[in-house]
Amino acid sequence: MRIVKLDETSRENLLADLLKRDPNNYDSYTKQVAAIVEDVKEKRDEALFSYTEKFDGVALTAETVRVTEEEIEEALQTIDQELLAVMRRSMENIRAYHEKQKRYSWFDSKPNGSILGQKITPLESVGVYVPGGKAAYPSSVLMNIIPAEVAGVPRICMVTPPSRNGKVNPVTLAAAHIAGATEVYKVGGAQAIAALAFGTQSIPRVNKIVGPGNIYVALAKKAVYGHVSIDSIAGPSEIMVVADETANPRFVAADLLSQAEHDELASAILVTDSMKLAEEVSAQTDLFIRELSRGDIIQKSLDNYGYILVVDTMEEAIETANEIAPEHLEIVTKNPFEVMTKVKNAGAIFLGEYSSEPLGDYFAGPNHVLPTNGTAKFFSPLSVDDYIKKSSIIYYSKEALEPVKEDIMKFARSEQLTAHANSIKVRFE
């Protein structure tokens, strides 16, 4: 990995490099995605099935697009039973963590005859997108569905591209079943997002769409936002490790590569105040790449967006982390808890040398759907909050309203809204 002494120029170049990965910069795909979305909106099933045959090589009908109970049972019997047991244990941790996020309605009654409150209601339906193809991502299934189930969403609809045999990957399907999906459809890409947003004869529309996908999926979610809610426009994966001289270079190198293997746009960055550690980590990444199955992808990722940044002080390292706002931030220092208190911007924070990023991806319980491309400055991880909505509750008796009526009318008249003022006035004539 390249080692860079961090200064103002290298910092600016780094930030500019990372921003190139933002899905919002891929304008060349926008028109193509917009055409697909509009086509599905107008022609519904006809367009949906046409694109599925074109892109996935599978001919679907209204009778075959939805996964059947028999297909679910077949998947449960087909997959490695030990893997199924692992997924169930992971699911328990994810559910226990998200149960602590649940919000409840509240009401505040005052002696003057007023009641104010907030009513919490789960969304009526959500659509969960899960990538397909050769790879299966059951962890993504669990992370997107379980918070919705905990929130109390009654209809959880999953879509995922079919394999060439017209079936859903059995591991993906088994994960969806145990997590609580109520429906699964064999469609993917921008056409699946459009179907969820506008509805077709076979797929009823949903209120919100969540889940990761390729650039077509990301831009389709952006295109339908406003017709439905979405979680975010997810960019490529990224990891930052902030480490000092006490860190194990082998551990640090392994963790950096765990994200670099996702794809060639993934970002892996070490920030350290130790040149010795920087050199050792760089050497160790070279050794690991020769051994790992996705070495070619890792190398391209590191060539494009991999950095070892050497700073003068740990304070500068923390400042760099806050500026980049990484999706995953590992703190491997003598006192990681002290460093953590100074971190303002990060999707998930991993403390100490045994809290590696894959622990969060698969098993610990916190959600692995995290803000990318610097959006951790204003976005949060996927949570139960993403699957609820809040309504304000207001009740005033006549006795509670009377002392404040003049204040309200004065405020309304100052905005030239005399009908607002009159609405209060008539109640005391």
Tell me how far apart the alpha carbons of residues 223 and 216 are, in angstroms, rounded to a whole number: 10
Contact 301, 339 (CB under 8 A): no
Tell me how far apart the alpha carbons of residues 60 and 45 are, in angstroms, rounded to a whole number: 10
Tell me how far apart the alpha carbons of residues 232 and 111 are, in angstroms, rounded to a whole number: 43
Tell me how far apart the alpha carbons of residues 391 and 394 are, in angstroms, rounded to a whole number: 10
For residue 99, give the nearest of 384, 367, 362 by alpha carbon: 384
Q: Which two tokens stand for residue 418?
A: 């005399």
Strands of 3-5's sheet, edge to edge? 3-5, 306-310, 267-272, 238-243, 328-332, 348-351
Tell me how far apart the alpha carbons of residues 368 and 359 are, in angstroms, rounded to a whole number: 10
Contact 24, 233 (CB under 8 A): yes
How many beta carbons lie within 10 A of that of residue 240, not counting itself?
25
Tell me how far apart the alpha carbons of residues 352 and 210 are, in angstroms, rounded to a whole number: 31
Known catalytic residues?
327-328
Q: DSSP character for 2?
A: -
